[in-house]
Amino acid sequence: MPTVTLSDALLDELVQICGEEHVFAGAAARFNRARVPSPFPVHRWDEFVPDAVVLPTSAEQISEVVKLANRERVPVVPRAGGTGLTDGAVPLRHGIMVDVKLMNRILELDLEDRTVTVQPGINMLKLSEELKPHGFIYPDNPASYPCSLVGGRIGTSGWSLIGGRYGHTRDLVISFELVLPTGEIVRVGDGGGPKVRKSSSGYQLKHLFMGHQGTLGIVTEATLELVKRPEAEFSAFYAYPSYLDAWRATGDFARSGAATLAGVVLFDEWKLAYLRRDDEAYIPQPESVKAVVALALYGNDDEVRASAKRMLRLGKASGGTYLGDEISQGDWASRHDRYATPLHGRTRDGQVVPMSWHCEDASILYSQLPAVREKWHAIAAGLRERFDMFDDWGMFAYTNGAFKPWGDYLTEIDIGIWEMQWDDESWAAWVDAKREIARVALEHGGSISACHGSCREGEVDLVPEELGGGFEVMKAVKRALDPNNVMNPGKYLLDRAYEEDAP
């Protein structure tokens, strides 16, 4: 699809739809919404800038914008918090950016049926503050809790830190309204009414429109699960003398069968080295500690007490050293801050330089974690050897399956990048490394992404391989629902759906 520059007449139409104060064509508004907090080719910033930004206030306005985009064949890109790490909200083909931040109201609180209906621009922190006086939470709890928004959580099908106990975004969103790529407004759920949790009527469309990275429409309202505020929370951190000891203990905790288990996290020795070296908030353990395992329990007081006893028994039996209440409670409490803090890393000779954080987030089977870890660190080392602008910040593995947190793990390698050093050569090497990291995940029976999505340069090349025939279905769905390829074009290789020989 060619690059489009919007005409004054088209901008006027946007103003008529959204109101003058909600349409921006100035450079600052557009450039700021081009980038995301993951590695961004700052040396090619211009290539990703939208032609106009609109901040609509209703589904009807969004519908009109989308109809206009179809008439004029202009790309439309939805954006919520802009914290996505797979470039979903980056306008690859320019066009109109639909920023949903002004649609941030709670529309209905139903304490009887335990649902809350919201607009897509609300964030989970604000939502939980509103729910607190009523004794409820909305337990979608990513590390980006204060800055990602409900629309983006649906757009990415997000992962929650306490998903083992309460489920992830797809389990917690009951139904939602969205504007289809042709402008019609529909509601999708698991079938039945907007508050029904389980139905067998028709297709289970909620899942089709979850995690599509804005390629199949724009969410304008969502009905979410309300969960009683947990009476008790328990976290415990254990130290181990080797990664393999810690990995075995992780398996023991995750397979304990405790219904209160919200998550288990495994930190490897590269991660501990990085935290010791560069995270002032981290309380360092002695060098003999090579890996750490953390776990968290949530629920009713009596249930949490009983499962905590079980976990303490398992921790002891696994040879772990309990790190004490201060680290256990303090580090778990800082789970939303840990990722936002790294602003610097080290060059090969130890010089401190400004770096931004990036993480790969594959889904890896428990049995494969040790092998994948070795290969990923080797890829990161190769990158660092060639370009003194990358730093290996170590790996985490988090339990991944909702309500059955034992099979696969959201496995991330965190890489620090000195972004101002980007040039075409280092960018190409980075893209190659991402592709290699994704390939290792697939070779070990995993998935390229457990939570962010997989449409960035490099990794996206392997999506057809990961999905097989499913990718053909994706293309057919895309072409059927978005005949003019206006909805977030260029993502997930879906332009291929419009090639002449596409199914």
Ligand X SMILES: Cc1cc2nc3c(=O)[nH]c(=O)nc-3n(C[C@H](O)[C@H](O)[C@H](O)COP(=O)(O)OP(=O)(O)OC[C@H]3O[C@@H](n4cnc5c(N)ncnc54)[C@H](O)[C@@H]3O)c2cc1C
Give the interface with ligand X as residue ranges (CB under 6 A): 37, 77-85, 88-89, 100, 120, 142-144, 148-149, 151-153, 155-156, 158-159, 161, 213-214, 218-219, 339-340, 451-452, 488
Nearest to 249 by CA among 266, 270, 271: 266
Quick one: residue 196, left, alpha or beta (phi over 0 = left, psi -120 to 50 = alpha)?
beta
Dist. CA 392–CA 378, nearest whole Å: 10
Dist. CA 353–CA 347, nearest whole Å: 7
Q: Closer to ligand X by CB, 245 or 360: give it.
A: 360
Instruction: Name the DSSP letter for residue 53.
Output: E
Cβ distance 406 to 399 under 8 Å?
A: yes
Q: Closer to ligand X by CB, 240 or 398: give it.
A: 398
Q: Closer to ligand X by CB, 79 or 165: give it.
A: 79
Cβ distance 260 to 303 under 8 Å?
A: yes
Neighbours of 21 (CB within 10 A): 8
Least Cβ distance, residue 121 to ligand X (angstroms): 8
Backbone CA torsion sign across 48, 52, 58, 64 = negative
Dist. CA 487–CA 65, nearest whole Å: 11
Least Cβ distance, residue 30 to ligand X (angstroms): 15
Least Cβ distance, residue 405 to ligand X (angstroms): 15
Dist. CA 94–CA 23, nearest whole Å: 15
Q: Closer to ligand X by CB, 34 or 100: give it.
A: 100
Q: Closer to ligand X by CB, 314 or 415: give it.
A: 415
Q: Give the CA radius of gyration of the chain.
A: 23
**What would the two tokens of residue 359 be?**
């993480």
Do the strands 76-79 and 106-110 form a parallel or antiparallel pair, or are they unpaired? unpaired
**What would the two tokens of residue 16 be?**
């008529």
Cβ distance 143 to 336 under 8 Å?
A: yes
Give the length of the chain.
Answer: 503
Q: Closer to ligand X by CB, 77 or 254: give it.
A: 77
- Using CA atoms of 191, 193, 195, 198 in order, give the dihedral in degrees to the nearest 10: -30
Least Cβ distance, residue 2 to ligand X (angstroms): 21
Q: Closer to ligand X by CB, 148 or 318: give it.
A: 148
Do the strands 321-322 and 115-118 form a parallel or antiparallel pair, or are they unpaired? unpaired
Cβ distance 172 to 189 under 8 Å?
A: no
Dist. CA 487–CA 503, nearest whole Å: 19
Q: Closer to ligand X by CB, 161 or 296: give it.
A: 161
Q: Closer to ligand X by CB, 124 or 297: give it.
A: 124
Cβ distance 65 to 23 under 8 Å?
A: no
Least Cβ distance, residue 358 to ligand X (angstroms): 10
Least Cβ distance, residue 83 to ligand X (angstroms): 3
Least Cβ distance, residue 120 to ligand X (angstroms): 4
Q: Closer to ligand X by CB, 97 or 131: give it.
A: 97
Least Cβ distance, residue 84 to ligand X (angstroms): 3
Dist. CA 439–CA 140, nearest whole Å: 29
